[in-house]
Structure 1
Amino acid sequence: MIAPLPQSDERQPLLSSTTAATATTEAGLKRSVWYRARRSPFAVACVVAMALFTDMVVYGVVVPILPDIVKSRLGGTPREVGLLFACYAIGLLASTPVFAIMSDKYQNRRIPMMLGMLGLAVATVGFSLASNYWVLILARIGQGSAGGASWTIGLGLLADVYPPDNLGVVMGATMTANAVGFMLGPMVGGYLYEYHGYSAPFIFCAGLAVLDFMCIVFIAEPEKKKVAAVQVDQDEGAASTAIEQEVDCLTVHEPSTTTVVAVERAAAAISNPQHAQEILDDGLHHQDHVEKNSTQHQTGGSSGTSSNYGATSSSASSSLSAANDEPSKEMAGIDVSMFEIASNWTITCCLLATFVAASVFSGLEPILPLYLEELLGAGPTQTGLIFLAAIFPTLFSSAIGYYADKVGHFYISLLGMAIFAVATFSLSMPKTFLSFILPLALFGLGSSTILTPLLPAMADVVNKKGWNGYAKTYALYNMTYSLSMAVGPILAGFIFEDFGFWWTMVMFGIMIVVATPVIFTAQIAQVFAQWRGASRTSDAINA
């Protein structure tokens, strides 16, 4: 006997014209070019790249001119130059956890980024109005504080819209924009300062920050990875098919109240994806219940009705689950503290590698202009041009990210550490402009090869653990990077003033060599294990 479906009021939403009209309206919005453009991952990646580009232009503009401003205009010392460079990192370090916690707590990325860009424009204008050393320090701290939004929120945006297996390439491409900004910054800053006056480079950077603010306004807040059984734009057909299978099952077998309600909620989720997680939870619970009953019927000889229904229901549940390819741990992220994230050994190694690479690179920035002026009489424009040699190799960040995804993040980073150590030692030797090019190029290549794989490596840990903490993880990266940018220039300024450029580079090189075995202990041990295994295999074959 065919059991009729209940005709209660609760069943009306399945066929209601209001639901159909809403679904049609949403489908029309989905097809809108403007709607798709504002929400496309490509648009998000472009805006993040623009934000990092702007931040690094602003940072790079002052590299060739701050030493001249402090030394020539204010009568400062190399130590004061190093402190002024470090103030950017102090502001970045202070603002990064604030932006990260707000972003993950309120699940909003755009507003903090917009506030950061406005703050960057205001702080940069403050540079052009500065008349003494302490005003420069305040403006530099303001720049760093604004930069915390670009790095922390920007990287969190990428993790929101791109899958982990593609994140290395995307971040590599984004870091290329960052490299281009840092490459153009010193050159543009030196030229504008030397030929158009003190305020020109800062006004240029403020205008760039305002333009980036408008780009951030353009994109929509991305949808977070809380997808469940149904995705409105891609999986409406799959969900509808699953519902039809469930309804067909109910017309043949005796339905339960729980099943009817589950089908109603699945139908409602087609037009309202906010119910998706609830559907998934009910579906998994119901499937476990069916499998348990099916096992009991098979061992106890129960009637075939429940067994057949269980098989059909399981098929429909599988269709519903197939509508979403995301892992369950991404559907419901686990809230974790920044301390718990930092306690993970893989992330700890990433942070230590970041500290070493960034402190050495940032330590070169305040002292190389002073050394070039002292050794070769170089001005801001010439210093900006010579910095291109160190920054140009970072344009290959996308390729580095691609090979890191294929070979392994830590193995590529270990290669970068070796290159970086050789380049740091060799920088103490050149005596002419041309002889600086190769060591600086290796220096930039080593730094980029170390840092680029670390970001997707950290994202991979977050994804595998099922944590809801992309922004917190990148905040830790930013805080470490900021700390290194504070320590590096100050340390370099003191060593340079007391011992000279040669000893500064030698001490930095020793720091890299000492830190490498600690950071890459697991990878080095694995390489030796593979080598020993290959050696034993070869001996066994020869025997």
Structure 2
Amino acid sequence: MGKLDAFRQFNLLKWLREERQSRKLILFIVFVALLLDNMLLTVVVPIIPSYLYSLDVSKDVDLNNTLPQQPTPPAAFDRIVSLYDNTVRLSGYNASARWTDVVTPTSAAAAAATQLPQNASDCPSSTSKLNKENVKVGLLFASKATVQLLTNPFIGPLTNRIGYQLPIFIGFCIMFASTIMFAFSSSYALLFLARSLQGVGSSCSSVAGMGMLASVYTDDEERGHAIGIALGGLAMGVLVGPPFGSVMYEFVGKTAPFLILACLALFDGALQLLILQPTKVEPESQKGTPLLTLMRDPYIVIAAGAICFGNMAIAMLEPTLPIWMMETMCARKWQLGVAFLPASISYLIGTYIFGKLAHKMGRWLCAVIGMVLVGICVIGVPFARSIYGLILPNFGVGFAIGMVDSSMMPIMGYLVDLRHVSVYGSVYAIADVAFCMGFALGPSIGGSIAESIGFPWLMTIIGIVDVLFAPLCLFLRNPPGQEEKIAILMDTNCSMKTRSYSTQGNSYQGEDMDPDYDEYD
């Protein structure tokens, strides 16, 4: 038995050494990391508005219960009221209401407030109180993206120096802590802290994950396909998060969905420990282009702008659509999350299809069509009069954002290859900054606009902005590059195509053939 156990351990170690070089397993780890991040990002969408509204109503109930009770009328006053009733009855009026039958305003408010938490998302009685939730919910949702926005400029250069393995593992640890905080927080301040902490973990996971994929998949077409699959993890998180959160919140409670996500985080962390060896720091192989230099590149700025404004549309929908549904549709709790299901499904479809197709049809064209489609569909959202009317516009929004993300994420790496040094930590920090700006400005500005001028005008404004930005993506059609970089890229593409031809059963004896290439498939 001892020899058998030793043999199994040897085979396991051998398998791990081989799998550490596998691009597919690295892609799977990044997929799971993005899935966890975005499930935690979106699972709170149907929970937080209703939960905070219930907390506020509960505070009002407690306040009303502490008010002094109305004194019992004295007997002399009761006789005066009786005499007044008789006088009024003789004059022909119905004055049968007695002092004891009158319900005071304070008592009526307390009775109504006591009933609200049980049905807080079905036809809330206080529309003004509900509108005030727009700002609170928007600021809480924006806190994650704001912190991530501030963290990204440090994470990008850090990954260039120490590698991608350690930052992505640190991101897992922080994400796990944030998930546990969400599960057991019962106040706005603690929820705000948990959401902000998630921004630090998300910055580590997304920047390091995308940089790792760009460094492993060097061919532009393969890189686009791999990033499209990784964005499928993001799409799956966005897809599963809202309906999962709303159903669990309705039938189990607030704590349960976050504990399940914590178990998923532990699985991802164990996988990273086995495969990526996060304790190993890799020295910097070559010095990357400074972050400020990349931020001054107009083509990178255009690609980042498309990511920002495309995702800002869904970022504005997340905090404001549930409240608008509660106000106009009397939507139940589970419907607040299910309303985002068409957008999530279509985003998953869009990223998968255009991860491959965008390279063939032109990523610039894919981005132009996607931005215009986002604008048109967002403007159509307020015309819905029931949850079924939201299916088509939300489906179009998700599909269009999938087109934009699956085309702009790979083009960021391509622009670095074409115009700068092929080190990807900083450029994907910029891409993540653009993503975070959309999700930071969207909820914070969107909540205020929705409160002041209404939800329909909010959707009209962001739709027009997306349509007006679309023509700028035409500049990405043929971005200029350094001549020597263009020559290197052409040689690399020719070499990769030749290798692909040889794997289909044809022999090739050229000097560009890499005998170790099949090891990574």
Tell me, yes or no, whether TM beats 0.5.
Answer: yes
The match for 2:165 is 110
1:505 corresponds to: 459
Letter paired with 1:464: L
Q: Is the 2:215–2:423 contact (alpha carbons within 8 Å) kept by the matching residues of 1? A: no
Deviations 1:147-190 (A, max 9, x none): 11111000011012112321001111111121111111111111
Which residue of the partner structure matches residue 385 of structure 1? 338
Match of 2:304 in 1: 351
Give the corresponding residue for 2:120.
none
Paired positions, count: 393
1:243 is matched with which residue? none
Query: How many Å separate the matches in 1 of 2:457 and 2:198?
Result: 31
Q: Aligned ranges for residues 329-344 of structure 1 at < 5 Å?
A: 333-344=286-297
1:124 aligns to what?
A: 179
| Equivalent residue, structure 2, for 1:286 | none
Q: By how many angstroms is 1:133 displaced?
A: 1.4
Q: One-letter code of the match for 2:452?
A: D
Q: Distance in 1 between matches of 2:227 and 2:476?
A: 25
TM (norm. structure 2) is 0.71
Matched, 1:373 2:326: yes
Partner Cα distance (1:475, 1:522) in 2: 20
What SS does the corresponding residue of 1:45 show, helix, strand or coil? helix
What is residue 66 of structure 1 aligned with on the other side? 48
- How many Å apart are 1:191 and its aligned residue? 1.4
Q: Which residues in structure 2 correspond to 1:69-148 (within 5 Å)?
A: 69-74=51-56, 77-107=133-163, 109-148=164-203
CA distance in 2, matches of 1:169, 1:122: 32
User: What is aligned with 2:205?
Assistant: 150
- More deviation, 72-81/179-188: 72-81
Secondary structure, aligned partner of 1:160 = helix
Contact 2:207-2:425 within 8 A present in 1 as well: yes
Whichever residue aligns with residue 73 of structure 1, its letter is: L
CA contact (8 A) 1:74 1:133 kept: no
CA contact (8 A) 1:64 1:186 kept: yes
Displacement of 1:443 after TM fit? 0.8
Is 1:46 the counterpart of 2:24 in the alignment? Answer: no
Distance in 2 of aligned mates of 1:122 and 1:31: 30
2: CA distance, partners of 1:48 / 1:481: 17
User: How far apart, CA to CA, are the structure 2 residues paired with 1:91 and 1:103?
Assistant: 18
Which of 200, 210, 213 is the equivalent residue of 2:256?
200
Q: Distance in 2 between matches of 1:450 and 1:373?
A: 30
Aligned ranges 1:268-347 → 2 under 5 Å = 333-347=286-300
CA distance in 2, matches of 1:74, 1:400: 44
Amino acid aligned to 2:294:
I
SS at match of 2:331: coil
Q: CA deviation at 1:521?
A: 4.6
Q: Secondary structure at the match of 2:368?
A: helix
What's the CA shift for 1:498?
1.4
CA-to-aligned-CA distance 1:178-225 (integer Å, 9 cap, x gap)? 111111111111111111112112222222212111111121369xxx
- Give the corresponding residue for 1:437: 391
2:227 equivalent to 1:171: yes
The Cα of 1:518 is off from its aligned counterpart by 3.4
Gap regions ≥5 residues in structure 2? 1-9, 58-131, 480-521
CA contact under 8 A between 1:333 and 1:466: conserved in structure 2?
no
- Sequence identity (%): 27
* Unaligned runs of at least 5 residues, structure 1: 1-27, 227-273, 275-330, 526-543
- Aligned-partner SS, 1:359: helix
CA contact (8 A) 2:368 2:471 kept: no
Q: 1:446-488, CA deviations, whole angstroms, 9 ceiling, x for partnerless residues?
A: 1111121101101011122351430110001111211221100
Q: 1:80 to 1:200 in 2, by over 3 A?
A: same
Task: Give the match for residue 238 of structure 1.
Answer: none
CA distance in 1, matches of 2:190, 2:291: 33
Flag the 1:128–1:149 CA change in 2: closer, same or farther, 3 A. Answer: same
Q: Which amino acid aligns with 1:116?
A: G
For 1:79 and 1:180, how far apart are their aligned partners in 2?
Answer: 28
Query: 2-side partners of 1:29 and 1:201: how far apart?
Result: 37
The 10-residue stretch of structure 1 (390-399 or 212-221) with the greater mean CA deviation from structure 2: 212-221
Aligned equivalents of 1:383 and 1:85: distance in 2?
16
Equivalent residues of 1:78, 1:493 under 8 A apart: yes
How far off is 1:333 after superposition?
A: 4.5
The whole-number CA distance in structure 2 between the counterparts of 1:74 and 1:130 is 15
- Structure 2: distance between partners of 1:160 and 1:217: 20
The one of 442, 447, 455 aligned to 2:401: 447
CA distance in 2 between partners of 1:178 and 1:448 (Å): 10
With over 3 angstroms needed to count, the CA separation of the structure-2 counterparts of 1:65 and 1:29, relative to structure 1, is: closer
Q: Given the two structures, how large is their TM-score scaled by the length of structure 1?
A: 0.69
Q: Matched residues in 1 for 2:328 and 2:259: separation? A: 31
Separation (CA, whole Å) in 2 of partners of 1:174 and 1:128: 27
1:160 corresponds in structure 2 to 215
Q: Which amino acid aligns with 2:309?
A: V
CA distance in 2, matches of 1:522, 1:177: 26
Give the secondary-structure state (helix, strand or coil) at the position aligned to 2:339.
helix
Matched with 2:113 is none
Summarize deviations over 1:18-70 as a string: whole Å, max 9, x none: xxxxxxxxxx9999433111220001000000000111111111011111122
Structure 1 residues 155 and 221: CA distance shift in structure 2, 3 A: farther
